[in-house]
Structure 1
Amino acid sequence: MKNTEQFIGKRVLVVGLAKSGMAAAGLLHRLGAEVIVNDARPLEGNEEAATLQALGIEVIGGGHPSDLLERGFDIIVKNPGIPYSNSLITQALERGLRIWTEVELAGLISEASIIAITGSNGKTTTTTLLYHMLNIGKKKPLIAGNIGTVACTVAEKAKNDEVMVLEASSFQLAGTENFKPHIAIFTNLYDAHLDYHGSTTEYLDAKLQVARNQTAEDFLIYNNDQEIVRSSVETMHAQKIPFSTEGKVVEGISADEEWIYWLGEPFISTKEIKLPGRHNLENILAATAAAILTGCKKTAIENVLSSFTGVRHRMQFVREFNGRTIYNDSKATNTLATKSAISSFKQPVILIAGGLERGHSFEELRPHMNNIRTVVAIGETAERFTEFAKSCGVEQSLLATTMEDAVKVAYESSSEDDVILLSPSCASWDQYPSFEIRGDQFIHAVMKL
């Protein structure tokens, strides 16, 4: 761990607990800072607060006192999920206080080189692919961020011969100041989290924090097929490595029907790839480029591409059964994700979709519904989704009340060589506490077939 003395005697306010707040407060306390924690939840029954109090850390619960900032702080470290519209954060901004997330702490103390992956979609798949490539390539990878352990916790123990593979959200990056990964990956940009950031401009600005502090010694891998990404990285100082699925890119990595090309030369046959979908090909290109730049041998990369079938709940291959291929894409909680999923297949698809009613339109799916043979709709949006499917000319639209019923109906409606795909296009909270539990129920129902 490096830069361990810079926090000695500093007064730091940690706002919000959960995993990141707990990790940041504990780390700063060990580094000699005077830490005060403020959490909106009451202290009564708050086990996290009790744990910190046992360490001698002051915890203020039950809201954000209006005079809290009068105590004088050098730095505020906030939970990434707390928006900048929060009254306490607004006050801090007006006072010109430095407001970080724990990712900034991770960057300051990590002895390990950092590869940071951000973007609207594909972060988790890219992070996972890269981690496996580096692991097989014996590069001693550590996985952190949204996908795993809190980044500053991993950074505290990281060694200089290791590599931290960090999935970084816009919420986390917005709270960085000096964060500088050696390799940054920008997968893509679509309108998302605008309720948090306020505008696409602010959202993009947060994403670009992944590369702003990079120098000519660093690398920026980015989506060359998206003009908004391509133009936004022009002013960055890192060595730029574009990736493209739309044609050969001599100065980067690209793919066509037959090959993945590195610097314009054939590198790996696309026949090696197990993971379906053009959007996943983008993730594969980004991860492969980072693996090459980290010194991974081609055999390690090929090993992963020929065996990796997807992150759990994200276009996850479940099994083949009586000629049907079954995929779990429960993480698809919006139409963009479902569009990518159904576009991945050329054979007929039996689609299980529906969930929480938020009033959002399904129209983005219309151009991609030609390949859907049957829709089995569940949840609050079930009837609206079946009506939409009928308007798209889908042969058959059916309703189901439970996931087990949906899987049974989907199987009975399918034929050999069909794909059965759970890709809900809706959040899970009408029937399930999380998309993970929804996906697990789907897998359980498939296995009962």
Structure 2
Amino acid sequence: MKNTTYFNDKNVLVLGLAVSGYNTALLLFRLGAKVVVNDFKDLSDNKEAEDLKNKGIKVISGGHPMNILEKPLDFIVKNPGIPYSNPLIKKAMSKKIKIITEVELADMISESPVIAITGTNGKTTTTMMCEALLNQNRSEGKAYAVGNIGVPASLVAQESSKKDDLIMEVSSFQLMGTDKFHPSIAVITNIYSAHLDYHKNRKEYVEAKMAITKNQKETDYIVFNRDQEELTQLIAQGAKAESIPFSRKKALGYGTFIKNNRIMFNDEEVMPVDDLLIPGEHNLENALAAITVAKLKGVPNEDIKQAFNRFKGVKHRLQLVDTVNGRTFYNDSKATNVLATKHALESFSRPVILIAGGLDRKESHEELIPVLEKHVKAVVTFGETKSQLAEAANKAHVDTVIIKDTVSNAAREAFKNSEEGDVIVLSPACASWDQYANFEERGNDFIETVRKISQSI
């Protein structure tokens, strides 16, 4: 951690506890700031809040009282999930109080180079790929995946050194709260329309994403998706850093691209496309972005290939689980809507047995019919939506449609009805809350069932 006196005696409000707020408060207190924590929820039985109080940090909970702003504040560290339309935030902005998010704080104290990754889709997978590639056969230091993936960046930044790398997934919510945030390498995987319930409009959303590069210099790098014309224009108009493109569709000659089914970096072959274990064009784009970062950090091609030979995807996101008697199992429990399941099914060229179902939100599954017709040989359904999804499969003229009660029984039935060479994928197209606390629990149930199937062979 940098030896900084900037925070000494500063009056700081940490708005929103959660994991990042707790660590932010501890860090600021350690750096000599006068810290107050405020959370809208009642924290009377919260052990983290009690710990802060025991250390002498003031905690106010059960609302956002406006009188918090009456005492002078040097800045506010805001939980990214709290919108700028919040009355307390609006009042603070009218008083010209500086508002930042935890990633800005992490960047300010970090001795480690920061590699920041954003985009509408693919942030988490690209971040985890970068971590794997940069740690493969690494002789000094370590790459740490932090940020929006659930690991507070400021927590790791306190302990990491100049020999390490912080690979920081950053959302538009976090980037809106940055002032001097300055990654040495920035990555934008893609930009679509999203989170317009949080942002005032698409323009604000795009501006938030582009904030990742606003403080970069000519000696830094901005890695971007050349297949998106809008993003290409935004980079050309607004980035000072050296721009390094990647493309799934065009043989660029510069940057990272595909030529003759080989992944190229500039004029150098890195690896065959077919050596990537995780399926899908979207994951190929994520890999191209991660390879670009790895090459900029000097990772040898052989290490990149070795890392991808081990990388099976991010858990619950089209994750390769196992191959049992020639049947390959994928866990895509994160697919909690129809669009996500469509993308999953489109990732496979081999025959697919789909396991789907979950919470009944009274939504139509008709949009699945075309992709079921094209990619799926059998469907096994479960949960509250089992009948509706079975009906959609029948309309798509899927050969085999089976209704079961649980994920575990559905997985076993899928295996019974499979042949060597088939793909068996849990991609529910529904939320998990009818039978599980969350999609992670549902995915873990599937993984455990696959393990038991493998053991029984």
TM norm structure 1: 0.94
- The structure-2 alpha-carbon separation of the partners of 1:241 and 1:169, relative to structure 1 and needing over 3 Å to count, comes to same
Deviation at 1:3, TM superposition (A): 6.1
Tell me how far apart the structure 1 counterparts of residues 261 and 245 of structure 2 sit (CA, whole Å). 19
Deviation, 1:339, is 2.6
| Native 8 Å contact 1:214 1:237 kept in 2 | yes
Answering whether residue 428 of structure 2 is matched by residue 424 of structure 1, we say yes
- Quickly say closer, same or farther: Cα 1:77–1:400, change in 2 above 3 A: same
Separation in structure 1 between the aligned mates of residue 362 and residue 202 of structure 2, nearest angstrom: 21
- Quote how far apart the aligned CAs of 1:137 are: 4.2
Give the 5 Å matches for 1:361-440.
362=365, 365-369=368-372, 370-440=374-444
- The worse-fitting range, judged by mean Cα deviation, of 38-47 and 364-373 is 364-373
For residues 32 and 361 of structure 1, do their structure 2 counterparts lie closer, same or farther at Cα, with a shift above 3 Å needed? farther
What is the alpha-carbon distance in structure 1 between the residues aligned to residue 358 and residue 228 of structure 2? 30
How far is 1:63 from its partner?
A: 1.0
Contact persistence 1:245–1:256 (CA under 8 A): no
Kept in 2, the 8 Å contact 1:246–1:256? The answer is no
Contact map agreement 1:249 1:264 (CA 8 A) in 2: no
Deviation by residue 1:142-194 (Cα, 9 ceiling, x = unmatched): 22113352101111222122211111122222211111110111112333332
Q: Cα RMSD (Å) of the superposition? A: 2.0
Say whether the 8 Å CA contact 2:43–2:62 is kept in structure 1: yes
Gaps of 5+ in 1: none
Q: Where does residue 261 of structure 2 map in the other structure?
A: 258
Name the aligned partner's letter for residue 86 of structure 1.
Answer: N
Unaligned runs of 5+ in 2: none
* Separation in 2, partners of 1:250, 1:267: 14
Structure 2 residue aligned with 1:210: 212
**Which residue does 1:246 correspond to in 2?**
249
Counterpart AA for 2:26: G
Among the aligned pairs, what percent are the same residue? 48
Matched, 1:281 2:284: yes
**2:188 pairs with one of 177, 186, 189:** 186
**Rounded Cα–Cα distance in structure 2 between residues aligned with 1:101 and 1:364:** 38
For 2:313, which of 286, 310, 313 is the aligned residue? 310
CA distance in 2, matches of 1:13, 1:197: 23
1:21 matches 2:24: no
Q: Is the 8 A contact 1:143 1:149 kept in 2?
A: yes
CA distance in 2, matches of 1:142, 1:363: 42
Residue 323 of structure 1: which of 322, 326, 335 is its match? 326
Partner-residue secondary structure (3-state), 1:445: helix
Q: 1:156 aligns with which of 158, 162, 174?
A: 158
User: 1:207 and 1:127, CA in 2 relative to 1: closer, same or farther beyond 3 A?
Assistant: same
Please give the residue correspondences for 1:39-118 in structure 2 after superposition, counting only pairs within 5 Å.
Answer: 39-118=39-118
Give the superposition deviation at 1:363: 5.6
Q: Do the aligned residues in 2 keep the contact of 1:131 with 1:165 (CA within 8 Å)?
A: yes
Say if 1:11 and 1:74, in contact at 8 Å, map to a contact too.
yes
Kindly state the Cα deviation for residue 433 of structure 1 after the two structures are TM-superposed.
1.4
User: 75-84 or 265-274, which moves further after superposition?
Assistant: 265-274
Distance 1:430 1:92 in 2: 41
User: Is the 1:315–1:341 Cα contact (8 Å) retained in structure 2?
Assistant: yes
Name the CA shift for 1:263/1:326 in 2 (closer, same or farther; >3 Å): same
Segment drifting more, 214-223 vs 371-380:
371-380
The change in CA–CA distance for 1:119 and 1:363 in structure 2 (over 3 A counts) is farther
Partner-residue secondary structure (3-state), 1:319:
strand
**2:153 partner letter:** A
- Determine which of 320, 332, 346 is the counterpart of 1:343: 346
In the TM superposition, what whole-angstrom CA distance separates every residue of 1:217-252 from its partner, at most 9, and x where no partner exists? 111111111233223322211111111111211121
Query: In structure 2, how many angstroms separate the alpha carbons of the residues matched to 1:286 and 1:360?
Result: 35
Deviating more after overlay: 109-118 vs 375-384: 375-384
Question: 2:231 pairs with 203, 216, 229, which one?
Answer: 229
**Distance between the aligned counterparts of 1:224 and 1:358, measured in 2?**
37
Give, in angstroms, the shift of residue 338 of structure 1: 2.2
Contact 1:3 1:108 in 2 (8 A): no
Pairwise CA distance, 1:207: 1.7
Contact preservation (8 Å) 1:137, 1:296: no
Alpha-carbon offset, residue 75 of structure 1 = 0.8
Aligned residues of 1:12 and 1:34 also touching (Cα < 8 A): yes
Alpha-carbon deviation of 1:367?
A: 4.4
CA contact (8 A) 1:253 1:264 kept: no
Q: Report the alpha carbon displacement of residue 303 of structure 1 after superposing the two structures with TM.
A: 0.8
Counterpart AA for 2:432: S
Do the aligned partners of 2:321 and 2:447 also contact (CA within 8 Å) in 1? yes
Question: Which is worse superposed, 358-367 or 348-357?
Answer: 358-367
> 1:224 & 1:393 partners in 2: Cα distance?
39
Taking the aligned partners of 2:194 and 2:431, their CA distance within structure 1 comes to 14
Checking the alignment, whether the CA contact within 8 Å between 1:75 and 1:99 is kept in structure 2 is yes
